[in-house]
């Protein structure tokens, strides 16, 4: 049985809490947060209010706090040779204060109140000792099928790749929705296409899956599309994305 203290009450903390709660091999001893309101989903018995002094002794202290708070929070917890572990994709392990440190990064986007099956979520771990690395691999394997040791440098690049695959992709959905709203057609009509665009990657590489006017060099359609867009920034984005698609596919010829 692994014991865990969860520091933080945000989105990631809440999802990790539920994953551990459903697992017999992990025992969450306490959840620590800055205010009482946010702690509600964790249940009364776990509440600890901004009290760094009376935290129980645990195998692992998981810091599910904002990236900018990792240094300060770990500084306050770094006594007693605790294993301090952050859950951030973009933050180097070394940002953690103290001597015994690690990373436990679930590579997923979490939505408040929407439960996900952790077994499908890759967990990337890192530690500055083999003892902690073993503990983190064990913790990960209790909840996920995909647990890998990944260095800070590689994890940061994966996080950058995730910005393209999630943040920027989602903004393209926003642009697509805006076009629908302006034309008074339902954005719902595009959702089956959006789901299939993602699920094509089950059988094809992005290169194989590419279609559309830019890929086939259909200048007439691209010119028409540009004339149909009102917003200059969206026009620029259309042009740059189309050029990027053409360059990427030309390289291969």
Give residues 113-142 in contact with a copy of itself (rule: CB under 8 A): 114, 116, 120-122, 124
**What part of residues 4-33 is at the interface with a copy of itself (CB under 8 A)?**
none
Is there binding between residue 167 and a copy of itself (CB under 8 A)? Answer: yes
Q: Which part of the chain contacts a copy of itself (CB under 8 A), choosing from 26-34, 35-43, 77-85, 160-168?
A: 160-168
Tokens 């679930």 identify what position? Answer: 106
Q: State which of residues 81, 189, 250, 253 lies at the interface with a copy of itself (CB under 8 A).
A: 189
Q: Which residues contact 199 (CB under 8 A, 6 or more apart)?
A: none
Is there binding between residue 223 and a copy of itself (CB under 8 A)? Answer: no
Q: Which part of the chain contacts a copy of itself (CB under 8 A), choosing from 12-20, 52-60, 128-136, 161-169?
A: 161-169
Minimal distance, residue 229 CB to a copy of itself, in Å: 8
**What part of residues 193-222 is at the interface with a copy of itself (CB under 8 A)?**
193-207, 209-215, 218, 221
Minimal distance, residue 133 CB to a copy of itself, in Å: 18
Query: Is residue 85 a contact partner of residue 62, using CB atoms and an 8 Å limit?
Result: yes
Cα–Cα distance for residue pair 204/99, rounded to 1 Å: 44
List the x/- string, 60-89, binding to a copy of itself by CB under 8 A. -------x----------------------
Q: State which of residues 160, 217, 223, 230 lies at the interface with a copy of itself (CB under 8 A).
A: 160
Query: Is residue 68 a contact partner of residue 12, using CB atoms and an 8 Å limit?
Result: no
Q: Which part of the chain contacts a copy of itself (CB under 8 A), choosing from 22-30, 38-46, 129-137, 145-153?
A: 145-153
Burial class (CB in 10 A: 0-12, 13-18, 19+), 101: buried
> Is the alpha carbon torsion for 147, 121, 102, 53 positive or negative?
negative
Q: State which of residues 56, 164, 250, 252 lies at the interface with a copy of itself (CB under 8 A).
A: 164
Cα–Cα distance for residue pair 218/204, rounded to 1 Å: 23
Q: State which of residues 53, 183, 250, 252 lies at the interface with a copy of itself (CB under 8 A).
A: 183
Q: Which part of the chain contacts a copy of itself (CB under 8 A), choosing from 41-49, 72-80, 93-101, 177-185?
A: 177-185
Minimal distance, residue 10 CB to a copy of itself, in Å: 12
What is the number of other CB atoms lying within 10 angstroms of the CB of residue 145?
13
């Amino acid at each position: 049985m692994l014991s865990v203290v969860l520091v933080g009450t945000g989105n990631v903390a809440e999802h990790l809490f539920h994953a551990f709660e459903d697992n017999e091999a992990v025992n969450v001893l306490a959840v620590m947060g800055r205010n009482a309101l946010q702690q509600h989903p964790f249940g009364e018995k776990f509440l600890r209010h901004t009290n760094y002094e009376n935290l129980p002794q645990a195998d692992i202290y998981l810091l599910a706090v904002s990236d900018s708070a990792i240094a300060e929070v770990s500084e306050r917890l770094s006594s007693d040779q605790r294993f301090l572990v952050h859950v951030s994709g973009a933050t180097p392990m070394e940002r953690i204060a103290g001597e015994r440190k690690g990373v436990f990064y679930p590579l997923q986007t979490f939505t408040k109140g929407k439960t996900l099956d952790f077994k499908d979520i890759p967990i990337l771990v890192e530690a500055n000792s083999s003892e902690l690395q073993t503990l983190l691999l064990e913790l990960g394997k209790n909840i996920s099928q995909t647990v890998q040791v990944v260095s800070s440098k590689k994890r940061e690049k994966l996080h950058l790749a995730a910005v393209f695959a999630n943040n920027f992709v989602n903004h393209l959905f926003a642009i697509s929705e805006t076009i629908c709203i302006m034309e008074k057609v339902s954005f719902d009509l595009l959702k089956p296409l959006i789901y299939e665009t993602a699920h094509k990657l089950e059988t094809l590489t992005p290169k194989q899956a590419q279609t559309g006017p830019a890929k086939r060099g259909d200048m007439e359609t691209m010119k028409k599309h540009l004339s149909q867009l009102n917003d200059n920034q969206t026009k620029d984005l259309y042009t740059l994305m189309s050029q990027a698609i053409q360059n990427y596919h030309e390289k291969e010829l």
